[in-house]
Amino acid sequence: MALNRRDFLKIAAAGVGAAGAADTAKALQRGPKPMPPEALGMLYDSTLCIGCKACVAACKEANDMPPEHTGQAEAIWDTPVELSGKTLNVIKVYQDGDMEQKDREVNGYAFVKRHCLHCVDPSCVSVCPVSAMTKDPLTGIVEHHADRCIGCRYCVEGCPFAVPKFEYNEAFGQIQKCQFCSHLQAKGQIPACCDVCPTGASLFGKVSDLSEEARRRLAGQAGERYVFTRGELGGDRPPHEAKLADYIKDIYGEKQLGGVQVLYLSAVPFEKLGLPTNVPEYSYAAIAEGIQHTLYKWMIAPAVLLVGLLYVVRRNLGRRGEAGNESGADQSSDRGQS
């Protein structure tokens, strides 16, 4: 039985269909999600951050998280270097050359704060099978609920910012991630990191106000005096005055991956701070859901397929005279037919 030309043409046609893949990409995508109406968030200004890690300590205390000893096991103080099952918020540093000057790309250094960015279209919420990740429809805060989580860790794989972490060394571990101190907010307080930040590098507020504030900073001249708010935008804490840095003229997080509610300002390129920049302006959740919704809308396609299968299978069984006598053929007469 040699393969003939017709077979090959059939296969080739299938291949051409796949080549059209690029065009269908957009068609398969579901639309973007809007910013929630009363979205709360944070503005982290890397140029204001002095790396004091008061926010890291405050986070541990507010959320009752254990200290972490990285490197020297003897260390008696908390030394997290990355987010983990014990650490919801961490300060990292970018360094280059002799690190002579802060906020400079070459021979300089800069700080960056890592925690959940409370995405507008969060992958973690989209991938979780049991609704253990939720996004508040009003404030947009993304919360994890351990009481129903099965620990599949799809959220860990799916988060584009590597935020959710699992407790691997516990018999009954759970997922840990920044919940934006929702328990403090319920009492009328602000997230612990913003509360203790001495410079206003971590600033709490409504996302719309925060992005206006960010724009004001970008509009100013580098070196100009500027009054920086501390704690909460619009709050009544004493501000402090400092020089505006030589910012990268862009706000990270307004567009990337469908937008996030924690915005970043920096004087070194965002990718140096470990923020993914080579990414689309839509969330990957929009593509994944788009494909699934196209295939499984109202379960119509599977239902139609099933009806077709029922019909064909039944007919084929009947044809061979074995209707109702199936799975592994009892008649030896079924050999040699086609």
Partner 1 sequence: MSAHEPVGGRLLTKPFMVFAVLAMIGFAILAARFFFGLGAVTNLNDGYTWGIWIVIDIMIGTAFGCAGYSVALLVYLLNRGEYHPLVRPALLAGLFGYTLGGMAAVIDLGRYWQIYTLFMPWYAQFNSIMLEVAWCVTAYTIVLWIEFTPTFLERFGLKNLRQKLSKVLFIFIAVGILLPTMHQSSLGTMLVALGYQVSPLWQTQWIGLLFLVSAILMGYAIVPFEGILASMGLRRPVEGELIARLSRIMFVVLAGYLIIRFADLIARGALGLAFAGDLDAVMFWVENLLFVVPLLLLVQAGNRSSPRMIFIAAISLLLAGSVYRINAYLVGYHPAGGGWHYFPSVPEMLVTVGIFSLEVVAYLVFVKKLPVLHRA
In the complex with partner 1, which residue's Cβ is closer, 219 or 306? 306
Least Å from the CB of residue 283 to partner 1: 8
Main-chain dihedrals φ then ψ at residue 121, nearest 5 degrees: -125, 75
Least Å from the CB of residue 196 to ligand SF4: 6
In the complex with ligand SF4, which residue's Cβ is closer, 29 or 144? 144
**265: contact with ligand SF4 by CB under 6 A:** no
**149: contact with partner 1 by CB under 8 A:** yes
Q: According to CB under 6 A, which one of 39, 110, 116, 265 is a site residue for ligand SF4?
A: 116
Percent helix, strand, coil in the chain (nearest 5)? 35, 15, 50
**18: contact with partner 1 by CB under 8 A:** yes
**59: contact with ligand SF4 by CB under 6 A:** no
> What is the SS3 string spanning 20-85?
CHHHHHHHHCCCCCCCCCCCEEEEEECCCCCCCCHHHHHHHHHHCCCCCCCCCCCCCCCCCCCCEC
Tokens of residue 204, six digits: 């709490």
In the shown chain, the binding pattern of residues 45 to 84 toward partner 1, with x for contact by CB under 8 A and - for none, equals: -------------------------------------xxx
Of 120, 93, 95, whose CA–CA distance to 108 is shortest?
Answer: 95
Task: Considering only the stretches 27-35, 160-168, 214-222, 239-247, report the one whose residues sit in contact with ligand SF4 under the rule CB under 6 A.
Answer: 160-168
Q: How many whole angstroms separate alpha carbon 211 and alpha carbon 233?
A: 11
Identity (one letter) of the amino acid at 269?
P
Contact 204, 232 (CB under 8 A): yes
**9: contact with partner 1 by CB under 8 A:** no
**273: contact with ligand SF4 by CB under 6 A:** no
E strand or H helix at 166:
strand 165-166
Contact set with ligand SF4 (CB under 6 A): 49-55, 91, 111, 113, 116-119, 122-124, 127-130, 132-133, 142, 144, 149-155, 159, 161, 163-164, 175, 177, 196-199, 201-202
